[in-house]
Amino acid sequence: MPKFSKFLLIITLFNLSITKTQALTKTTSTTPSISAEVPSTASPTDTTPPFPPILISPTNHIYLNNPQLNFIWRQTTDLNSNTLTYTLHLNQQIYPNLPSHANLIKTKYHALAKTDTFTFFLNQPLPDGSYIWYVTAADANQNQANSAIFKFTLDTQPPQLTLNTFDQHRNLNLNPSNTPISLNFNPNLTTHHLTLITEPNALINLTLTNLFNSQSQSFSQTCPPTPNPCRLTFNLSLTSTPHQLQISAFDQAHNSANLPSITLIPIIPSTSPHFLPATLAQLQPTSQNLSLYLLLLLAIILILLLIYKRKRLNFIVVAPVPLKPNIIYLSHLPPHSSKLKTYKLKPNRHYFIPHLQSRSTLTIHLPNQSPPLVLCVLSPSSRYQIRI
C-alpha cells in the first residue's frame, strides 16, 4: 500500500506540472500580439530604382512619313512601390508626370495607360527632321531609371527624281511635274544609256514595255548614301519597235515620286550626204558626187580669195568727172628702198599698193595735166582715198 500511494502521488504531481506548462504557454503566446500592433519608426529608406522602360514604337533608326506620331513603351515595375510616373523626352521637349496607371487628356497630348503598355499621343503634327526620344520612370521616392535612346527621321516629302539624259538627248530635266513626252532612239545601237538624278538611298524602279507585243522588263537600282544628289545610269536594250518607259523613286520613308510616261520611238538616221561631210567614209564612190564636191570646194576657195583680196585693198582715186584718157599713173617709193614703183590705175577703183603707210610720198600723174600731184600720207590707215 505505501508503494501504491507513492505512485499515485508522483502521477498527480506530473499532471499538475503539465497543466501549469500549458497555462504558461497560452499566456506567453498572447503577449506578442500586443507588441506587433505598434508601428516601427526605424523603417529603411527605398533607394532601389524601378526597372527601365522598354521602348516599342517608333523603333530605332526608322524613317517615317506620318507626322501624327504615337509613342509606345512597355509598362515597367518597381519592387518597393506601386506608384510610378513617366517622363517622355523628345529632342529638347519634355513631357513629365505621366501616371503609369491613369489616362490623361491635355491640350498638346493625351495618354492611354494599359496593363502592359503605355501610349503617348501628340495632338499636333511634328515637322520634318531627325529626332531622339527616351522615357524616364520614377517611383514615389524619385528613384529613376532611363530607357534606351532611340532615333528616328520624319520625312513627308517625295524624293527628287529627274531624267537627265537619254542617248543623244541631253539636259532633258524631266521631273514629275512635266507632261508625258516622246523621245527618238536609233535601233541600230546595241545599248541605250539613260541617266537619272535622285536623292541618296533612294530606290529607283524602271519598267520598260514593248508596245508591239506588250512584254515588260523591270530594272531596279539603289543610290548609295552620298552627301550630294545621286546619279544612276541604266543600260537598256531596245528592239526596233516603240517602247513605253515608267520610272518611279522611293525614299527610306516610303514616299514615292513618278515621272510622266515616256514613249521611245525608233528612227533610223538618214544616210543622205550633208553639205560638208564629216568623214570621207560618208562620200558615195560615184563620179557624179565627186564632181559635185569638187565644184563646191572650188567655189569656196574663190569666195575666200575674193574676201581676202577685198580686205587688202587700201587705195582709191575718186574722180567725179570722167577723165580722158581714163588712166592715172601713181608713183610710190617704198620705205627702205631706192627704186620707185609706178602703178597704172583707173579712177574710182580700189587697188592694193604695197608698203603704203604713214609718211609715204605719192606722185599722181593725171592725163593732160602737168605738173603731177605730189602727196604725203600723214596718218596710218587701212585704206586711203584721194579725190581729184
* Range from 77-86, 194-203, 283-292 carrying the lowest mean pLDDT: 283-292
Q: Which residue has the cell 527601365?
A: 52
CB-CB contact of 26 with 41 (8 Å): no
Region 54-75: mean pLDDT is: 95
219 has pLDDT over 90? yes
Q: Dmax over Cα atoms in the chain, in whole Å?
A: 211
Which of 209, 228, 223, 229 is closest to 162 using CA atoms? 229
* φ/ψ (deg, to 5) at 291: -65, -40
Q: Give the confidence band of 364 by pLDDT, cuts at 50, 70, 90.
A: confident
**For position 271, what pLDDT does the model report?**
60
Which pLDDT score is estimated for 326?
A: 76
pLDDT band at 337 (very low <50, low <70, confident <90, very high): confident
Q: How confident is the model at residue 4, as a pLDDT?
A: 46
pLDDT at 91: 95
State yes or no: pLDDT of 36 exceeds 60.
Answer: no
21-39 per-residue burial string, b: 16 or more CB within 10 A, e: under 16 = eeeeeeeeeeeeeeeeeee
Model confidence at 30: pLDDT above 50: no
Q: What pLDDT was estimated at residue 66?
A: 94
Q: What is the mean pLDDT of residues 193-209?
A: 94
Measured distance CA(289)–CA(272) in Å, rounded: 12
Q: Is the dihedral of CA 364, 365, 369, 374 positive or negative?
A: positive
* Per-residue model confidence (pLDDT) at position 362: 78
Question: Residue 200 has what pLDDT?
Answer: 92
Confidence band (pLDDT; 50, 70, 90) for 130? very high
152: closest CA among 70, 215, 236? 70
232: its cell numbers: 544612276
Residue predicted with more confidence, 283 or 152: 152
- Greatest mean pLDDT range, 82-86, 289-293, 308-312: 82-86
What pLDDT, on a 0 to 100 scale, did the predictor assign at position 155?
95
Average pLDDT over residues 112-133: 95
> Residue 44 — pLDDT band, cuts 50, 70, 90?
low
Report whether pLDDT(303) > 70. yes
Q: Please answer whether residues 377 and 358 qualify as being in contact, where contact means their C-beta atoms are separated by less than 8 angstroms.
A: yes
- Amino acid identity of residue 160, one-letter, is Q
Mean pLDDT lowest among 19-23, 348-352, 375-379: 19-23
Average pLDDT of the chain to the nearest whole number: 81
Average pLDDT for residues 328-339, to the nearest whole number?
76
Q: Is the pLDDT of residue 371 over 70?
A: yes
Q: What pLDDT does 318 receive?
A: 80
- pLDDT at residue 25, rounded to an integer: 40
pLDDT for the residue 342: 84
CA-closest candidate to residue 63, choices 126, 159, 155, 128: 155
Of 357, 351, 317, the C-alpha closest to 337 is: 357
Kindly report, residue by residue over 256-294, the tens digit of the pLDDT.
999 999 999 998 776 654 444 444 444 445 566 788 888
Q: Is pLDDT of 247 > 80?
A: yes
Question: Cα 117 to chain center, whole Å?
Answer: 40
| Percentage of the residues of the chain whose pLDDT score is greater than 90 | 50
| pLDDT above 50 for 106 | yes
Task: Find out whether 318 and 388 touch, Cβ atoms under 8 Å.
Answer: yes
Model's pTM, two decimal places?
A: 0.55
